[in-house]
Amino acid sequence: MAASGASVDQRFCFQEVFDSFKLCLSENKEVYLEHYVDGWRGLVKFLNCLGSVFGFIAKDAVNKVQVLVALMSGESGSQYATIQSMVKYELDNGLVDVTKRGSHPESGCRTLLRLHRALRWLELFLERLRTSGEDGKTSVMCAEAYNESLSQHHPWVIRKAAGVAFCVLPGRPAFFEVMNVGSTEQVVAMLGGALPLISEVYNITEELYAQHNLLDLP
Ligand SMILES: CCCCCCCC/C=C\CCCCCCCC(=O)N[C@@H](COP(=O)(O)O)[C@H](O)/C=C/CCCCCCCCCCCCC
């Protein structure tokens, strides 16, 4: 684990992730893409602290973040301010491959859907982490959360590789240390504050995607 030797800005702090998801929601419950992506950047930082066995997962998350950042900073960037505006813009302009992969293999809608599914895994995992005891096994919590969510969208080979990676997750105390929040009580309290936010962002996105039949984008 590289946490103690990491330089200041490489060191993960869960507070940053919490702050990003707090900033995600506008007054009228739109989801700001910039903060959503920042939340994921923070989570990838955490993954990088866990060692190279998680490299293939971090790489995929980084790729997805980069696709969204490129869209947000491209010539139609203003259309990518919120997830709602992105969906409207891409659908109105035929920029989404809806039934099979074609000329828009990296649309914002498709790319975000992959992160959105992973957000459900995160929600389930953090809830287990929050409510578990001191000797709780993070590998088991992670695998259970994965099996209840993301795994349904992954082929056998990815499920296998993910299962191997989960086995080397540190125990709950070491895991909490990497989160860099403070005492166990402080971590649990922060998780209690972060989870409703993550859950709200997830539910709003899920409803939006369901309304537009986007939940199975290839
Ligand atoms: C401080 C709080 C504690 C929790 C911190 C967790 C940090 C997690 C950081 C990132 C999570 C990984 C997000 C992965 C996104 C995966 C998106 C995806 O499903 N991609 C697949 C499909 O993409 P396309 O091919 O359709 O473009 C792709 O095939 C996946 C490849 C990589 C494998 C993904 C396995 C995900 C396992 C769940 C994450 C485990 C992290 C464990 C760390 C605690």
Contact 161, 146 (CB under 8 A): no
141 domain-assigned:
yes
170 domain-assigned:
yes
4 domain-assigned:
no
The Å distance, Cα 207 to ligand 1 centre, comes to: 22
Contact 42, 16 (CB under 8 A): yes
Which ligand 1 atom is nearest residue 50's CA? 43
91 domain-assigned:
yes
Contact 66, 72 (CB under 8 A): no
Q: Is the distance from the beta carbon of residue 87 to the nearest atom of ligand 1 less than 6 Å?
A: no
Domain of residue 58, residue span: 12-211
If you ran DSSP here, which 8-state letter would residue 199 be given?
H
Q: Which residue has the tokens 């409803």?
A: 207
Instruction: Indicate which CATH number applies to the domain containing 125.
Output: 1.10.3520.10
119 domain-assigned:
yes
Question: Rounded to the nearest 5°, which phi and psi values hold at 186?
Answer: -65, -40
**Measured distance CA(186)–CA(36) in Å, rounded:** 24
88 domain-assigned:
yes
Against a cut of 0.90, is the pTM above it? Answer: yes
User: Chain-centre distance of CA 6, in angstroms?
Assistant: 22
5 domain-assigned:
no
The Å distance, Cα 5 to ligand 1 centre, comes to: 25
Closest by CA position to 217, among listed 98, 133, 114, 112: 98
pLDDT digits (tens, 9 = 90+) for 182-207: 999 999 999 999 999 999 999 999 99
ipTM attached to this prediction: 0.97
129 domain-assigned:
yes
pLDDT digits (tens, 9 = 90+) for 141-191: 999 999 999 999 999 999 999 999 999 999 999 989 988 899 999 999 999
Q: How confident is the model at residue 7 (pLDDT cuts 50, 70, 90)?
A: very low
**How many domains are there within the chain?**
1
The Å distance, Cα 162 to ligand 1 centre, comes to: 9
